[in-house]
Amino acid sequence: MTDTATDTTTDGATTKPSVLFVCVHNAGRSQMATGWLRHLSGGAVEVRSAGSMPADQINPAAVEAMLEEGIDIRAEKPKVLTTEAVQASDVVVTMGCGDACPFYPGKRYEDWKLEDPAGQGVEAVRPIRDEIRTRILTLLTELGVQPVNA
């Protein structure tokens, strides 16, 4: 992967950088990160999320916190972590999935230590949401993608 937002393949086609966010339930942190990256990249980054033990639904407090920022993640559904999702991603960001996340050589891995919003009200989720936004802006810079909607 180069430091630019797009790579050129041997046939001249361009590809977007891709990021996979993984947490245990894929209901809070990873869903907020997915919402932020889609919003702040303006579609310049391919975004995926998954969980090692997906919940039945997204955390309502995470949904509410993101709606306060004008980002609607209500349509998202927790998804199970697959080998294919990891293989298809340039960057894998884990948020507490521990050893459940498969490792592949050549992938960039980051572990973001963030409080788990499970079972917390929106007041407790807001600082987590804001920390994720800060980390997403840093990630965009590292990927060579100019943030939009910032």
Residues belonging to the active site: 23, 97, 101
User: DSSP secondary-structure letter at 100?
Assistant: G
Evaluate whether 111 touches 90 at the Cβ level (below 8 Å).
no
Residue among 101, 98, 77 nearest 27 (CA)? 77
Beta-strand relationship, 7-8 and 14-15: antiparallel
